[in-house]
Amino acid sequence: MKAFLVDRYKKKGALRLGEKPEPVLRDDDVLVEIHAAGLNLLDSKIRDGEFKLILPYHPPFILGHDVAGTVVRVGPNVRRLKPGDEIYARPRDGRVGTFAQFIAINEADVALKPRNLDMAESASIPLVGLTAWQVLVERARVQKGQKVLIHAGSGGVGTFAIQLAKHLGATVATTTSAANVELVKGLGADIVIDYKQQDFEKVLSGYDVVLNSLDGDTLHKSLNVLKPGGKLISISGPPDPDFAREQGLNWFLQQVTRLLSFGIRRKAKGRQISYSFLFMRANGEQLSQIASLIEAGIIRPVVDRTFPFEATNEALAYIETGRSRGKVVVKLR
């Protein structure tokens, strides 16, 4: 099968289009023919080598974390899915590889795709949908009437998280550029901060939750908008000791994460705010719940551009510009 491979870790290095054997199907797996694959900045960061200490990939490996496609074969232990089912998924860490014609995925990571979306729209959802769900529903436990700040509202995670936070009953503020104000308002944002003209920490106060996906400066400023008892949850780092334990990292890497996050954890504690780092995990059951919200018209995908599979490197370069609105997808069929 054709696949885009990382031959060696290199910043902004091109992926190689090559041939790989069809994946081996384990007992709990489904083999999926890929119709479309979503792209994420996580793909760029893995290719650049930023996660090589904590994620188990050894070049050459296939990149890609979002998939929509058709089940073509199932392992003997699979009960929920059958050949012909149209699915979407974010394969678990260690088993990614959606920039290819086929992928084998554990059944637990897979859900039937939303019936009202096509394959490209479905492929745009899994990673950002699960990230938003695990931040807002699972960890922050957002309640009706709470105030939530979502940074980078026009990005992949932001466009999904705004809609989910509104569904949960929150008042939602977001940061974006002037060009994207109408987009994020259309998704449900109540307060929109043009980050080029306004300083969000001087405009907002008394917030319950902040979802940070930006740099360290934004992370530290976010403490100023949270009230005591508030939650600062970052998906862009720094990783904390709880994350290190969950990932099963060795003692040395646990100490590294402790040091990396010491400053923000100390500042947050001093203000009676909790800081945590979230690294999204695969979860087919949560994807099923997300599909129900999409089918009910509560959440809609935001797809900026689709590229042909052969232009995967160009698609990756496009998301690295930081100008994409929502998600970028490559189509195989």
* Domain span at 103: 2-124+301-331
Residues 171 and 69 in one domain: no
pLDDT for res 210: 98
Residues 62 and 146 in one domain: no
Residues 239 and 198 in one domain: yes
Does residue 244 fall inside a structural domain? Answer: yes
CA distances from 215 to 35, 227, 255 (A): 34, 21, 22
pLDDT tier, 319 (very low <50, low <70, confident <90, very high otherwise): very high
pLDDT for res 285: 98
Residues 119 and 134 in one domain: no
Residues 108 and 155 in one domain: no
Which residues, other chains included, contact 13 with Cβ-Cβ below 8 Å and sequence gap of 6+? 6, 47, 48
Mean pLDDT across the stretch 220-244? 96
Mean pLDDT across the stretch 273-288? 97
pLDDT by residue (tens digit) across 156-214? Answer: 999 999 999 999 999 999 999 999 999 999 999 999 999 999 999 999 999 999 999 99
Structure tokens, 11: 């910043």
pLDDT by residue (tens digit) across 96-122? Answer: 999 999 999 999 999 999 999 999 999
Residues 107 and 42 in one domain: yes
Does residue 99 fall inside a structural domain? Answer: yes
125, 153 contact by CB (below 8 A)? no
Residues 89 and 115 in one domain: yes
Task: Residue 213: give its domain's CATH number.
Answer: 3.40.50.720
Does residue 12 fall inside a structural domain? Answer: yes
Name the residue type at position 282. Answer: A
Name the DSSP class of 107.
Answer: G
pLDDT by residue (tens digit) across 44-87? Answer: 999 999 998 888 799 999 999 999 999 999 999 999 999 999 99
Task: Residue 37: give its domain's CATH number.
Answer: 3.90.180.10
Q: State the chain's mean pLDDT as an integer.
A: 97
Does residue 290 fall inside a structural domain? Answer: no
CA distances from 235 to 41, 46, 65, 196, 197 (A): 12, 15, 16, 22, 25
Does residue 292 fall inside a structural domain? Answer: no
In the predicted structure, residue 323 carries a pLDDT above the cut 90 = no
135, 212 contact by CB (below 8 A)? no
Does residue 178 fall inside a structural domain? Answer: yes
- Burial class of residue 56, CB neighbours in 10 A (0-12, 13-18, 19+): exposed
pLDDT by residue (tens digit) across 10-50? Answer: 999 999 999 999 999 999 999 999 999 999 999 999 999 99
Residues 110 and 216 in one domain: no
Distance CA 186, CA 132 (A): 18
Residues 60 and 181 in one domain: no
Does residue 104 fall inside a structural domain? Answer: yes
pLDDT for res 142: 98
Does residue 285 fall inside a structural domain? Answer: no
Residues 261 and 143 in one domain: yes
C-alpha torsion angle, residues 47, 250, 284, 129 (rounded to 10):
-50
pLDDT for res 56: 79
- Total domains in the chain come to 2
In the chain, at which residue ranges do the beta strands (DSSP E only) sit?
2-6, 16-19, 29-39, 61-62, 67-74, 86-89, 102-106, 110-112, 147-150, 171-176, 191-194, 207-212, 226-234, 274-277, 303-308, 327-331
Residues 164 and 213 in one domain: yes
Residues 31 and 58 in one domain: yes
Mean pLDDT across the stretch 235-258? 93
